[in-house]
């Protein structure tokens, strides 16, 4: 901290303007990458992104460490698009069944509108040790939010909430694996509507079965608000 007789160091306005410019260009590159993926699929080249932005290819790498860093930042941008729609459903309202179905429909609806962006989230991540950290952290964040809800229900009924995180991780993992398997099956024997119904019933069964084992009986037609106030 500067003393009364000292002056705080001056901020170079040119540096601030340059930082803002870099942030703007970085966002422009990421927006362009998403547009290219939507048009051409997950296997895109840096030159395609550069052409979309209207800059030489080397300019792209001024804003990213390497191709792996660029891909990871693109994934983060894709997830931002998904979470803008999905996040509100993690604060559920309506009945228990309606809340589950709303989250499922939102997730599948986003994939239906952006199948190539979803494919990019898993593209090439197996080549890197541990896969994509941003994808893994997003799944964890979703599980944490679901776990808080499960813990609140258990606490309301005077039960130990320690099972809540495991239940939440199980639900998120089940949905992720099921949707990825469905997308990988080119025959697509299940329509998205049937898949949504299957996921809704399965999530409810997983939740209610585990809660029942702890002595907590819930009604699928009960509102979430009533459940938390029980």
pLDDT at site 18: 63
Per-residue burial over 168-206, b if 16 or more Cβ lie within 10 Å, else e, is bbbbbeebeeebeebeeeeeeeeeeeebbeebbebbbee
Task: Return mean pLDDT, the chain.
Answer: 89
Give the chain as a DSSP string: ---TTS-PPPP-HHHHHHHHHHHHHHHHHHHHHHHHHHHH-S---HHHHHHHHTS-HHHHTTSSSSHHHHHHHHHHHHHHHHHHHHGGGGS--SBHHHHHHHHHHHHHHHHHH-HHHHHHHHTTGGGSTT--HHHHHHHHHHHHHHHHHHHHHHHHTT--GGGHHHHHHHHHHHHHHHHHHHHH-TT--S-HHHHHHHHHHHHHHHHHHHHHHTT----TTSBHHHHHT-
Q: How far apart are CA 88 and CA 201, in angstroms?
A: 21
Q: Radius of gyration of the chain from Cα atoms? A: 22
15: confidence class by pLDDT, cuts 50, 70, 90:
low
Q: Percent of the chain scored above 70 by pLDDT?
A: 88
Q: pLDDT of 173-192, one tens digit each?
A: 999 999 999 999 988 889 99
Q: pLDDT of 18-66, one tens digit each?
A: 677 778 889 999 999 999 999 999 999 999 999 999 999 999 998 899 9
Its pTM stands at 0.85
Tokens 């702890």 identify what position? 214
Residue 12 scores a pLDDT above 60:
no
Contact 128, 68 (CB under 8 A): yes
pLDDT at site 7: 55
């Amino acid at each position: 901290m500067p003393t009364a007789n000292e002056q705080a160091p001056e901020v170079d306005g040119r540096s601030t303007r340059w930082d803002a410019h870099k942030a703007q260009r970085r966002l422009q590159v990421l927006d362009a990458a998403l547009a290219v993926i939507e048009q051409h699929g997950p296997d895109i080249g840096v030159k395609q992104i550069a052409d979309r932005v209207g800059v030489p290819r080397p300019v792209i790498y001024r804003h990213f460490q390497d191709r792996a860093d660029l891909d990871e930042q693109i994934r983060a941008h894709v997830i931002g698009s998904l979470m803008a729609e999905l996040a509100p459903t993690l604060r559920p309202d309506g009945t228990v069944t309606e809340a589950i179905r709303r989250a499922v429909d939102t997730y599948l609806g986003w994939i239906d509108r952006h199948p190539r962006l979803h494919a990019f989230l898993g593209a090439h991540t197996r080549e890197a040790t541990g896969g994509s950290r941003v994808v893994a952290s997003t799944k964890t964040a979703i599980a944490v939010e679901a776990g808080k809800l499960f813990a609140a229900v258990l606490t309301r009924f005077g039960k130990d909430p320690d099972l809540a995180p495991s239940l939440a991780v199980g639900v998120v993992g089940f949905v992720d694996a099921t949707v990825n398997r469905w997308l990988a099956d080119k025959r697509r024997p299940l329509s998205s509507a049937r898949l949504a119904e299957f996921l809704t019933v399965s999530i409810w069964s997983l939740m209610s079965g585990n809660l029942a084992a702890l002595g907590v009986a819930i009604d699928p037609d009960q509102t979430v608000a009533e459940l938390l106030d029980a």
